[in-house]
Amino acid sequence: MSRILAVDYGDMRTGLAVSDPLGLLASAAGVVTGADPAQVADRVVAEAVQRGAAVILLGLPKNMNNTLGPRAEKTLAFAELLRARFDGEVVLRDERNTTVSATRMLNETDTRGKKRKAVIDALSAAVLLQDYLDSLR
C-alpha cells in the first residue's frame, strides 16, 4: 500500500498527517499556513508528492445533522483545486468530531497555549487518517 496524506483544511492553518507505508498508522505531519486556497493546494500537493502519497484524504466538515454548511462548501471547492493539481486520488471523508478528539488528547497531555495551536490541526488530520485507515481493515 502506498502512503496517504490527510488534510484538515482551515482558513489560516491546514493540518497534515501521513500514513506509514503499510497503511496501519497515522502520524501528524505539520501544518501549511496561508489564506489563499490555490497556494495552499499547491503546497499540499507538493507535500503529497514529496511523501510519496497516492491518495489525499480531505476532511469534509459536515454539520451534526449531516448537512453541508459554508465551511463544507469551501472544502468542496478546495477539493476541486487539489484534483486539478494532483495525479492521484482525492478522497473526501466526514470529519465530524476529529477536532473534538484532538482537543481531548491535548487536554489529557496538558498541552496549552501557542503549542496547542501549533499542533491541533495536524493532530486533527492524524485522527481523521487513523479513523480512515482503521475503516479499511
CATH number for 55 = 3.30.420.140
User: Residue 137 domain-assigned?
Assistant: no
Q: How many domains does the structure of the chain reveal?
A: 1
Look at residue 120 in the predicted model and tell me its pLDDT: 74
| Residue 136 lies inside a defined structural domain of this protein | no
The pLDDT of residue 6: 98
Q: Show contacts of 110-118: CB within 8 Å, 24+ apart.
A: 117/13, 118/31
77: in domain: yes
pLDDT by 10s per residue, the chain, length 137: 689 999 999 999 999 999 999 999 999 999 999 999 999 999 999 999 999 999 999 999 988 788 888 899 999 999 999 999 999 999 999 987 666 666 676 566 665 666 656 677 888 899 999 999 998 88
Please answer whether residues 45 and 88 qualify as being in contact, where contact means their C-beta atoms are separated by less than 8 angstroms.
no
Contact 101, 8 (CB under 8 A): no
Domain holding 32, by residue range, is 3-131
Rounded CA gap, 24 and 96, in Å? 21
